[in-house]
Amino acid sequence: METLIAPASLSDADVVARVRAGETALFEILMRRHNQRLYRVARAMLKDEMEAEDAMQQAYVNAFVHLDQFEERAQFSTWLTRIAVHEALARRRRTNAHASLTTNGDEPGDFMETLVAPQPDPERQAYATELGRVLESAVDALPNAYRAVFMLREIEGLSTAETAAGLDLGEEAVKTRLHRARAMVRRSLTDRLGAAASSAFQFHADRCDRVVQAVLTEIRRQNPAP
């Protein structure tokens, strides 16, 4: 299948109109534009990578099938987010129902993109990866009602209004849940980082080897063997 590249000037509404008119292949443009947001909102609801991907796929199918129901007075991204939220919630309900019968709960997975600085050295990359894991764990520990709001506002960067529209909440409810979620994440990070403080700023072996070699080289340079 040939990869489609969306022209920069083509808006979501333009793409939707053309898909409705029969250019169904252009639906790929919409998926590529909104994959990140849909994954994050599904992952916030489900706390499992594979289940979130499955929910995304089904949400896209549902959106395509019901594309004629999209009303252009709303943003397509908001409409699509609502579909993903409903699909993820339905899956979570099924999972919870199954868990109540089998006594097996869901397991948290890894979600966030690794926090990597441009062209990091191995040590900085390791620190960033670990920091990302700590934050993921803190977000996963949030109650369901707060996790989705935190994910959309703090990680996806949506406004209060966009988050409220996507989750079918009032803006005050979004603000309240975000405030509480931030407090919970701060407490979790403080506890985790406090426990790890003794292992911070360690002089790792590769650094040690590098410094030792540099010093020995300089010593030899200044004091050549007779």
Whether residue 91 sits in one domain with residue 22: yes
Whether residue 90 sits in one domain with residue 2: yes
Signed CA dihedral, 107, 113, 119, 123: sign only: negative
Whether residue 105 sits in one domain with residue 116: no
Whether residue 8 sits in one domain with residue 90: yes
pLDDT of residue 117: 39
Looking at 110, 129, 145, which one is the last position of a domain? 110
Question: Residue 84 pLDDT more than 80?
Answer: yes
Question: Residue 91 pLDDT more than 90?
Answer: no
Whether residue 59 sits in one domain with residue 6: yes
pLDDT of residue 156: 85
Does residue 86 lie in a domain region? yes
Does residue 160 lie in a domain region? yes
Domain that holds residue 69: 1-110
Of these ranges, 85-89, 135-139, 197-201, 217-221, the one predicted with the greatest mean pLDDT is: 85-89
Which ranges of the chain does DSSP label H, i.e. alpha helix?
12-20, 27-46, 49-65, 76-102, 122-140, 144-150, 160-167, 171-196, 205-222
Whether residue 130 sits in one domain with residue 33: no
pLDDT of residue 204: 61
Q: Tell me what the pLDDT averaged over the chain comes to.
A: 76
Question: Residue 29 pLDDT more than 80?
Answer: yes
Whether residue 42 sits in one domain with residue 147: no
* Of the candidate ranges 48-62, 114-128, 152-166, 196-210, the one whose mean pLDDT is the lowest: 114-128
CATH number for position 92 = 1.10.1740.10
pLDDT of residue 105: 40
What pLDDT, in 10s, does the model give residues 162-216? Answer: 889 888 899 999 999 999 999 998 888 887 766 655 555 554 667 556 666 777 6
